[in-house]
Amino acid sequence: MKKFFEILRYLSPYKGRIALNLSFNLLNAAFSVVSFSAIVPFLKILFDSQEDRVSDDPAMGNGMLDKLNHSFEVIIREEGPKEALFVFSLLIVALFLLRNIFRYLAQHQMAFLRNVAVRDIRREIYHKLLVLPMAYYTDERKGQIMARFTNDVSEVEWSVMGALEALFRQPVMILIFLITLLGISWQLTIFVLIVLPVSGFIIGRIGKSLKRTAKKGQNELGEVVTSLEETVGGIRIVKGFTAEKIFARHFNKVNDKHFGLMVRLFRKQYLTSPIGETLSAITIAMILWFGGNLVLEGDVLNGEFFILYVVIFSQMISPARALSESFVRVQRGLSASERIDQVLKADEQILEAPGAKSIKGFKKSIAFKNVTFDYGGEAVLKNINLEVQQGESIALVGPSGGGKSTLVDLMPRFYDVIDGSIEIDGQDIRDFKVYELRGLFGIVSQQSILFNDSIRNNLLIGNEDADEKQLIDALHTANAHGFVISLPEGLDANVGEAGNRLSGGQKQRLSIARAILNDPPVMIFDEATSALDTESERLVQSALDRLMKGRTSFIIAHRLSTVQHVDRIVVIDKGEIVETGSHSELMELGGLYQRLVELQDLS
Ligand code: ADP
């Protein structure tokens, strides 16, 4: 129950609307009771029972009821039965109108409340995802995040918010109805409160047992399907071994088992209505018996109010049922909400030191000093020392899994070093403002990340303020201008989901154009051409060469032919720098690099 109220926290900013909703519910309930009460004067008129009551004015033991009774009688007497009939008919219309107006007003607020909570949860998760550290995003988690965002939020919406409706409305209804019932006859009400829970309990038990059988039925059906799948999948074997009989026997067994279970399930299901109805009839009969006796005894309850009692009582059943169902719903929503909380409460890691320095560019070098790193397990980088001068181009090569991507990910602080430090112009990168530090790096990776939007908007991510000329220039430099203008909508063409309306090479050239617009001092190419065919690779490579000019660049490349002209090649194996030098130096050295080049020449 405590957990449940925790879910209400999503609604805490909207207290005013909750108050409105509750007030309207209260008015709705009050007018419901009053409108039902309007049957009393009709009964009086039709059965003509007012005369004797007024004259001897018996004490019914209840001031309110007496007064109400009395005023009905006065109206009937003064107006005459036919006119009174008309007046009370009008009254009914007015009362029902009011009741429904308040009901709608309450729902008007509820429509807002239940949806705003879902909007806020989605917003909270999304913003959280933007600030979570890179380390949070393991492949396994990515799938989970999607599930949180879709299934779990919907579950919360369906269960909790649906239950909210019941919770804000039904208790108010039940309370008002109950007070009225007590007002009409407390004796009868106490009797009802004893009888009702018993029949409710029995009905609840039947429901539970039904659920269990239904679940078993599901499992059995699974077995039937599996048996079918196995046969179809292994049909060669079945026929080859002439094992049809064995398989048929097995299939018949599971199929019959499922059949038996389903028959039982349906029989149980069919039993619920008769039992439920009989139980209700017994309950009602007991109330009629007890209440009828009260009427006959004369001075506790009169006939009209007894009928009113039964009417209001019958109206109380459906809110009571809705309320109890909503508790079951809430249970399911709670587990979804707990899973959402795991995302919302995940550690954010504060990256920025207080008083962090500003950094717009650098003059001298980026240096790795004794850098060690792991993802929580074995060391991925060991004791890396590497100084890269401003304007220098560096290729990182070596067997895959050696730690090349990890090494470049450390510079924008997607991850932080475990030991050692990375310095820019002699200053530890952890001393800089993270946002500005990241702004120094432009990244083109193997997978070009395009968003489902126009080419123009995808480019503008690189530089929001770029004008048309800059866009066109960037496209030219990236060898992308030709194909973009050949599209009917040109720059405004939509790239499709994840850019899938374009070829791999086209996507990659757009990513490069975006990086050019961003104009960062350092470029990182992580296998930027690996996924391309030779023709696109040539186009992309020449775009890359232009982009690298005058910039510090880190190039991770699988195809060694593409990096022969860089200033320095760094060979990384098993987390360590094993060789450095130019292409010719390394070939001469005759180490790992030379072996890798020869392997690729062969292939
Ligand atoms: P390379 O770029 O040279 O192929 P990586 O830097 O991608 O190498 O990977 C180095 C090692 O770190 C590999 O063993 C890889 O499995 C591991 N690794 C890479 N990324 C992660 C991650 N996010 N979580 C855990 N381990 C990782």
- Kindly report which listed range (62-76, 95-109, 275-289) carries the lowest average pLDDT score: 62-76
pTM, whole model, 2 decimals?
0.68
CATH number assigned to the domain comprising residue 283: 1.20.1560.10
383-407 mean pLDDT? 93
**CA angle 447-451-457, nearest 5°?**
120
Residue closest to 476 by CA, chosen among 446, 504, 509, 522: 509
CA–centroid distance, residue 135 to ligand 1 (Å):
12
375 CA → ligand 1 middle, Å = 8
Cα→Cα distances 555→40, 248, 396, 471, Å: 89, 62, 6, 25
Q: How far apart are CA 570 and CA 555, in angstroms?
A: 10
Q: How confident is the model over 126-146, as a mean pLDDT?
A: 81
Q: Is 380 in the pocket of ligand 1 (CB under 6 A)?
A: yes
Q: What is the pLDDT of residue 33?
A: 87
Among protein residues, the one whose CA lies closest to atom 23 of ligand 1: 138
Choosing from 136, 371, 375 the residue with most ligand 1 atoms within 8 A of its CB, the one to mutate for a pocket test is 375
- Report the nearest atom of ligand 1 relative to the CA of 376: 25
Q: What is the pLDDT of residue 443?
A: 86
Give the Å distance between the CA of 74 and the centre of ligand 1.
90
Atom 12 in ligand 1: residue holding the nearest Cα: 380
Q: Is the CB of 420 under 6 A from ligand 1?
A: no
Cβ atoms of 436 and 390 within 8 Å: the answer is no
- Residue 302, ligand 1, Cβ within 6 A: no
Q: For ligand 1, atom 26, name the residue with the nearest CA.
A: 375
Amino acid identity of 351?
L
Mean pLDDT of 143-155: 81
Ligand 1, pocket-test mutation among 142, 380, 381, 524, most atoms within 8 A of CB: 380
pLDDT in tens, 168-225: 888 888 899 999 999 888 888 998 888 878 877 877 787 788 778 877 877 888 888 8
Q: Does 413 reside within a domain? A: no
Report which protein residue has its CA nearest ligand 1's atom 19: 406
What is the position in ligand 1's atom list of the atom closest to the CA of 399? 3
Residue 584 alpha carbon to ligand 1 centre in Å: 29
- The CA-atom distances, in angstroms, between 529 and each of 444, 447, 536, 599 are 10, 9, 8, 19
pLDDT digits (tens, 9 = 90+) for 33-72: 888 888 888 887 777 655 444 434 444 445 666 777 777 7
Q: Residue 80 — φ and ψ, nearest 5°?
A: 90, 150
- Is residue 600 included in any domain, yes or no? no
Residue 483 counted as domain residue: no
What values do phi and psi take at 161, rounded to 5? Answer: -70, -35
Mutational pocket test of ligand 1: of 138, 141, 372, 406, the residue with most ligand atoms within 8 Å of the beta carbon = 406
Q: Following DSSP, what letter does each residue of 203-237 receive, concatenated? A: HHHHHHHHHHHHHHHHHHHHHHHHHHHHHHHTHHH
| 48-62, 120-134, 257-271, 514-528: range with lowest mean pLDDT | 48-62
Residue 577, strand partner residues: 572
pLDDT band, very low/low/confident/very high, at 3 (cuts 50, 70, 90): low
In sequence order, what DSSP letters do the residues of 114-168 get, joined into one string? Answer: HHHHHHHHHHHHHHHHHHS-GGG--HHHHHHHHHIIIIIHHHIIIIIIHHHHHHH
32 in a structural domain: yes
Q: Is the CB of 375 under 6 A from ligand 1?
A: yes
Residue 334 in domain: yes
- Mutual angle of helices 81-131 and 15-37, in 10-degree steps: 160
- Of 169, 191, 199, 198, the C-alpha closest to 306 is 191
Q: How far is the CA of 594 from the centre of ligand 1 (A)?
A: 24
Amino acid residing at 133? P
- Could you give the CA distance from residue 207 to residue 44 in angstroms, rounded to a whole number? 42
Taking phi first (over 0 means left), then psi (-120 to 50 degrees means alpha), and beta for anything else, what does residue 169 get? alpha
The two structure tokens encoding residue 144? 């989970």
User: How many domains, the chain?
Assistant: 1
Residue 500 lies in a domain: no
Q: Report whether pLDDT(351) > 60.
A: yes
Please tell me whether residue 414 adopts helix, strand or coil conformation.
coil
The CA–CA distances, whole Å, from 253 to 213, 226, 229, 250, 400 equal 19, 13, 15, 5, 52
Residue 169: which of 118, 112, 110, 115 has the closest Cα? 110
Dist CA 568 CA 583 (whole Å): 8
Query: Higher pLDDT residue, 535 or 32?
Result: 32
Of all protein residues, the one whose alpha carbon is nearest to atom 7 of ligand 1 is: 405
Domain that holds residue 285: 2-344
What is the layout of strands, in order, in the sheet containing 365-374? Answer: 379-389, 365-374, 419-424, 427-428
At 472, is the secondary structure helix, strand, or coil? helix
- Residue 357's pLDDT is 92
In this structure, the dihedral spanned by the alpha carbons of residues 548, 550, 552 and 555, taken in order and rounded to 10 degrees, is 20
Residue 579 belongs to what H/E stretch? strand 576-581
Contacts 24+ apart (CB under 8 A), 433-436: 433/352, 433/356, 433/357, 433/358, 433/359, 434/351, 434/352, 434/356, 436/358, 436/359, 436/360
Dist. CA 382–CA 371, nearest whole Å: 6
Q: Please tell me if the CB atom of residue 382 comes closer than 6 angstroms to any atom of ligand 1.
A: no
pLDDT tens digits, one per residue of 498-555: 777 888 888 888 888 898 888 889 999 888 777 777 777 787 788 888 888 888 999 9
Ligand 1 lined by 406 (C-beta under 6 Å): yes
Helix (H) or strand (E) holding 404: helix 404-410
What is the CA(374)–ligand 1 centre distance, in A?
9
Least confident segment among 55-59, 390-394, 416-420, 497-501: 55-59
Q: How far is the CA of 345 from the centre of ligand 1 (A)?
A: 26
DSSP result, 266-291: HHHHHHHHHHHHHHHHHHHHHHHHHH
401 lines ligand 1 (CB under 6 A): yes
pLDDT(141) > 80? no
From the CA of 135, give the closest atom in ligand 1. 23
- How many angstroms does the Cα of residue 404 sit away from the middle of ligand 1? 8
One-character DSSP codes across 7-34: HGGGGGGGHHHHHHHHHHHHHHHHHHHH
Q: Calculate how far, in angstroms, residue 271's C-alpha sits from the geometric centre of ligand 1.
A: 61
Q: Is residue 602 part of a domain?
A: no
Q: Which atom of ligand 1 is nearest to the CA of 556?
A: 2
Nearest-atom index, ligand 1, CA of 409: 6
pLDDT for the residue 58 = 43
Q: What percent of the chain has pLDDT over 90?
A: 26
Compute the mean pLDDT over every residue in the chain, rounded to the nearest whole number: 85
Buried (b) or exposed (e) across 80-111, using 16+ Cβ within 10 A?
Answer: eeeebbeebeebeeebbebbeebbebbbebbe
Instruction: Take atom 13 of ligand 1 and give the residue whose Cα is closest.
Output: 401
Q: How far apart are CA 221 and CA 217, in angstroms?
A: 6
CB distance 402 to ligand 1 below 6 Å:
yes
Best of 405, 525, 574, 576 for a ligand 1 pocket test (most atoms within 8 Å of beta carbon)? 405
Q: Residue 373 — left, alpha, or beta (φ > 0 → left; ψ -120 to 50 → alpha)?
A: beta
246 part of a folded domain: yes
Question: Which ligand 1 atom sits closest to the C-alpha of 402?
Answer: 3
Distance 562 CA to ligand 1 centre (A): 23
